[in-house]
Amino acid sequence: MSHETVYAIASGKGGVGKTTTTVNLGTALAQAGERVAIVDTDLGMANLAGFVSLTPDSMTLHDVLSGAASIDDAIYSVTENIVAVPSGTSLDEYADTSPEGLREVVSELRDRFDYVFLDVGAGVNHETVLPLGLADSVILVSTPEPAAVHDSKKTLELTERAGGTVAGLVVTRTLPDSDISHEEIATRLETDLLGTIPEDAAARESVYAGTPLIVYEPNGPAATAYRQLAADLAGIDIPDSSGADEEVTELSDESESESSSADSDGDRGEREAAHDDVSSAITEAESDS
């Protein structure tokens, strides 16, 4: 296994597939038996709250960072081997948070899970920069579009200023007949190319089906690429998951939805997330983040 276990998934521009990458990398490793935590560190514009179908009075990372709750209170079991720590969506809650508390949160999750993925917000602010320095490595996510690549350069510079390390670049929505060199994009950014994720109609379909792509269409081109990326990061073999859609419980909705279960899950304090559909959550996350 790689010695790096905490990854910040970051992009300077919204809509490039950052949240989709986070969810599918985490799910691939969970399917391989690794214990995974996904954390929404976009404190101001959270989009993973619906991922666990929270009710208005549910505890989130906001409550943890304001001192009103423990990390156990904000951990929600999504499906086997994977949990989510969502941030709240209330501006009042955001105003009460102390982002510096994220250091302790990440430290505790590092000790309790095999892998921790920090879904970092786009843009330039303290909440964006802080996770870049807390992670073992930062994974840059970009499409081949010039604007997205330009913003990735800014994120790389922010990571350096935060004292973090960039693991490399993941280029999403690539086209087989394109004359764009993805290696050249990585070279221009002075980082390694970790992988490319091809454009795949199943990615959008999986959102509306309420299932992560690697479960919805496990042998499709994008799912295969995400599974290979996860295997490369962890240094383990992750076999294709044909039939996984029959074996793995759907991840819950990443949009605002009505219900949530707050049942205790042993001494870890995890609650089981309600399993509805994932539809608008990833859609909103990728268009707004």
In a domain, 120, yes or no: yes
| pTM as predicted | 0.82
CB 163 within 8 A of CB 129: no
15 pLDDT tier (thresholds 50, 70, 90) = confident
Average pLDDT score over the chain = 80
Q: Where residue 52 sits, what CATH number does that domain have?
A: 3.40.50.300
- The pLDDT tens digits for 225-277 are 999 999 999 999 887 755 444 444 344 433 333 333 334 344 444 565 543 43
In a domain, 234, yes or no: yes
| Amino acid at site 134 | L
60 pLDDT tier (thresholds 50, 70, 90) = confident
Domain containing residue 274 = 6-288
- The pLDDT tens digits for 101-112 are 999 999 999 999
In a domain, 1, yes or no: no
Q: How many domains does the chain have?
A: 1
Collapse the DSSP code of 273 into the 3-class scheme (helix H, G, I; strand E, B; otherwise coil) and give the result.
coil
For residue 121, the number of C-alpha atoms closer than 13 Å in the C-beta half-sphere is: 20
